[in-house]
Amino acid sequence: MNAVELRDVSLTLGGRTILAGIGLDIAMGEFVGVLGPNGSGKTTLMRAILGLVPPSRGSIHVLGQPATRGNPAIGYMPQARHFASDLRLSGRDFVASVSNGHRLGLPVRGRIARAEMEQALRLVGAQELARRPLAELSGGERQRLLLAQALIGKPQLLLLDEPLISLDPHRQQEVVDLVKTLKADLGIAVLFSAHDVNSLLGAIDKVLYLGSGQAALGTIDEVITGPVLSRLYGSHIDVVRVGGRIFVMSGSCCAETEEHRHEPAPADRQPRHSGHA
């Protein structure tokens, strides 16, 4: 059984075709980096796997079942980080609100739900920082809590939408390493979207590169090549490897880093230490 199976899938949003006739298999326990220019459909693909965007053609199967909204086997970390950075709520309450969140009643947590939450916090190393209000956490620390939240409910598949956005390179590496450890410990499949393949080197098993409505899935060496990316970008692309890093060049400029320019990384706020720093 595959974690995700797409058969001839087309996705359309507001009349615009995002992906056209995609077929791919993602095996259980695979860590897949999802790359591609802005608007290439990384988020839409995840929303389709979640059952929020029905395909206009083809079929999507998740863990052997047709994709449906509310699938408890999927852990999801959305890109739009809605919650205000001035929320005074503790990280623990923030994460806890996810467990059984769809059921009516008072948000009282039973023993099992509490144990599950502590387990999720422990897996991401956030048991201590979850005591503090969200407003006092740094971007990287909040990212850990969002990851913990995605682990609640024992998912078999994790969809992480741009978890590295607005983190400095050091924190980015921490998050990637953390996901790699989680994948190994829990044996779950991970789809991890990012702007720059370099942040994922050494961690991912495969790359899913999206562009011009098409997709290429394979190892980094198979996919991050001039011919494949030229097809996906619809223009001539050179791939240059320097000192263990990969640069995707369009003409004379760097296609991948170009994507970062619109995102002036608001410096990862320094955590406030409460004495025991």
Partner 1 sequence: MLEMLQYDFMRNAFAAAAVVAIVAGTVGYFLVLRGQTFAGHALAHVGFTGATGAVLLGIAPIWGMVLATVAAGIGMGFMGERLAQRDVAIGLVLALALGLGLLFLHFFTAFATQATTLLFGNVLAVDMRTVWVLLALGSVSLATLAVISRPLLFASLHPELAEAKGVSLRLYSVLFLAIVALATAECAQIVGVLLVFALMVGPAAAAQRLTSAMAAGVLLSAVLALLEAWSGIALAYYTDWPSSFWITALSAAVYLIATLPRPMGRFASAAPR
The residue (of 134 and 178) whose beta carbon lies closer to partner 1 is 134
Apex CA 146: angle with CA 24 and CA 103, to 5°?
90
Q: Per-residue x/- mask for partner 1, residues 85 to 104, rule CB under 8 A?
A: --xxxx--xx--xx-xxxxx
**Closest distance to partner 1 from the beta carbon of 228 (Å):** 31
Helices and strands, number each (H, E), in the chain: 8, 13
Please provide the DSSP assignment of 112-127 as one string: HHHHHHHHHHHHTT-T
- Give yes or no for a contact between 102 and 186, defined as CB atoms under 8 angstroms apart: no
User: Which phi and psi angles does 169 have, rounded to 5°?
Assistant: -55, -40
The residue (of 69 and 245) whose beta carbon lies closer to partner 1 is 69
Q: Per-residue x/- mask for partner 1, residues 9 to 48, rule CB under 8 A?
A: --------------------------------------x-
Q: Does 208 bind partner 1 (CB under 8 A)?
A: no
H-helix segments, 99-194: 111-123, 139-151, 169-186
Q: What is the footprint of partner 1 within residues 215-274 (CB under 8 A)?
A: 272-274
Closest CA to 221 of 207, 234, 235, 238: 207
Which range of residues in 2-10, 68-76, 115-123, 240-248 is near partner 1 by CB under 8 A? 68-76
Rule CB under 8 A: which residues touch partner 1?
A: 47, 50-52, 69-70, 72, 74, 76, 78, 80, 82-84, 87-90, 93-94, 97-98, 100-107, 132-133, 136, 149, 272-275
